Amino acid sequence: MKNVFALGSSYLIKEYSSDWAYSLFAEKTKKEFKGYCITRTNPSYLREKYKILSPVLWLTNQPDKDDLKTSNLGHILQSVKKFVQKNKNSLILLDRIDYLINLYTFEQVIKFIYSLNDIVMSKNAVLLVNVNPEILNNYQLNLLQQEIKEITRKDLGVEDELEDDLHEILLFAHTSPKKVSFKDISRQFSITKTTTRKRIRALEKKGFVIIRKNGRNKIVLLTEKGKKHVPPG
């Protein structure tokens, strides 16, 4: 995996699932960086599934005496500032900003990210902000991308890997005994028509599937490239 992170920089990861962000964070904090994870996900789950050993600040509005539990934006900023002051080559992962947006507003959260980026730049740290692109509108995404440079799997030399949500659709289309339609995928994964369309278009853009009309339905067919990404049979 390429090392493209520049100290004093912030990067935006746009993925439907958080899996890649956590895996990337776990890999980078083994030797290269001192990690600090800010997330809504239970820290015990992260340690078990992704082997994340770094400190985890748990986003919750039920704080206790533990300094690593808070949803207060000011407290989070102070916590990050304290960490990067003590640790050279710090890597900060911020996940689930949708939770913060629901507690506050997008305007407040984007100002919080501006302040977070200021800390990162002044202390030569690195910030990763993971966001599901479906939870933000185009205006909000554009504001984020004005402040934070998007980074993709391709940038890191991981060109053909798929996030879990897309891989599940690919696997379902491959193993189904009948041709799979958009409606079948919506029902199988309990997702909206809009989400279904976005994910299938993402697979099509990557060259893993082609879309064919079958009467009033749209059918998803795997390409040869797509078939190589699922188990045989």
Query: How would you write 23-51 as a 3-class SS string?
Result: HHHHHHCCCCCEEEEEECCCHHHHHHHHC
Per-residue pLDDT at 44? 94
Crossing angle of the two packed helices 193-205 and 182-189, in degrees rounded to 10: 110
Q: What are phi and psi of 69, to 5 degrees?
A: -135, 110
Per-residue pLDDT at 186? 94
Q: Sort residue 12 into left (φ over 0), alpha (ψ -120 to 50) or beta.
A: beta
User: In this structure, what DSSP letter does residue 190 have?
Assistant: T
- Give CATH 1.10.10.10 domain extents, the chain: 164-227
64 Cβ neighbours under 8 A, 6+ residues apart: none
Strand arrangement of the beta sheet that strand 209-214 belongs to: 180-181, 217-222, 209-214
HSE value, Cβ hemisphere, 13 Å, CA-based, for 118: 8
59 Cβ neighbours under 8 A, 6+ residues apart: 38, 39, 40, 70, 71, 96, 99, 100
Question: How confident is the prediction along the chain (233 residues), in pLDDT tens digits per residue?
Answer: 566 799 999 999 987 778 889 989 999 999 889 999 999 999 999 999 889 999 999 999 886 666 789 999 999 999 999 999 999 999 999 999 999 999 999 999 999 999 999 999 999 999 999 998 878 999 999 999 999 999 987 787 765 567 778 888 988 898 888 899 999 999 999 999 999 999 999 899 888 899 999 888 999 999 888 887 776 54
Residue 196, token pair as written in the block: 């279904």
Q: Which CATH number fits domain 164-227: 1.10.10.60, 1.10.10.10, 3.40.50.720, 1.10.260.40?
A: 1.10.10.10
- Give CATH 3.40.50.300 domain extents, the chain: 9-156
Return the closest-CA partner of residue 187 out of 172, 175, 167: 172
Strand arrangement of the beta sheet that strand 149-150 belongs to: 56-58, 34-39, 90-95, 126-131, 9-14, 149-150
Dihedral (Cα; 213, 186, 49, 18), 10-degree rounding: 80
CATH superfamily assigned to domain 9-156: P-loop containing nucleotide triphosphate hydrolases (3.40.50.300)
Q: Let me know: does 20 contact 137? Beta carbons within 8 Å.
A: no
195 Cβ neighbours under 8 A, 6+ residues apart: 134, 186
